[in-house]
Amino acid sequence: MFSLLFSIAAFTGQAQKYAYLNSSEIIMMHPDVKAADQKLINFQGELMKKGEGMAKKLEADYNAYVIEANSGTLSQVQMQGMEASLGTQQEAIRQFEVEMKQKVLIKREELYKPILDQIQKAVEDVGAENGYMMIFDTSTGGILHAADSDNILDKVRLKLNL
């Protein structure tokens, strides 16, 4: 009985192959990453310009309000109306900042998802072709010892023609 269990354990131990990959390295090697990075930077820049324009308008309107308020030509009702308008502009800027962050996250996902999907498929293909039971990602720090496993970076890179 003991020898049967030992034989089964030895067989399954030999059949299981493990590999590792630093996904950050393969991502940085992918040629589409630089283009995606630049598109994301350009997108953020466009949004920043719009936000800066909103801030400049608020600043100009505030300065105009201060001048008029100090001149004493505004009634209390006019001052309250201008203050409410400034508050509305300020809230619009805050809302724009929140929306901008969301838009950047959505754009990042849109730009990088095809790249990450392509890499994931290449990793899965290499795993299946080479009989790996598991492939660990060392960029996440999930591996403590890798002596009995294979680094598949070159195989995935070849699969992606990099």
**Residue 127: predicted pLDDT:** 86
Closest C-alpha to 36, from 118, 121, 108: 108
Q: Is the pLDDT of residue 103 over 50?
A: yes
Average per-residue pLDDT for the chain? 86
Ranges of each domain in the chain: 16-159
Provide the pLDDT confidence category of residue 98 given band limits of 50, 70 and 90.
Answer: very high
Residue with the bigger pLDDT between 161 and 141: it is 161
3 state DSSP class of 103: helix
Q: 């890499």: which residue's tokens?
A: 119
Q: At what angle do helices 76-130 and 31-71 cross, to 10 degrees?
A: 170
> Which pair of structure tokens corresponds to residue 56?
């400049």
**Residue 152: predicted pLDDT:** 84
Q: 């598109």: which residue's tokens?
A: 39
Q: Is the pLDDT of residue 4 over 60?
A: no
Closest C-alpha to 162, from 127, 114, 115: 115
CATH architecture of the domain with range 16-159: 2-Layer Sandwich (3.30)
**Residue 6: predicted pLDDT:** 39
Q: Which backbone phi and psi does 126 adopt, to 5 degrees?
A: -60, -40
**Residue 9: predicted pLDDT:** 43
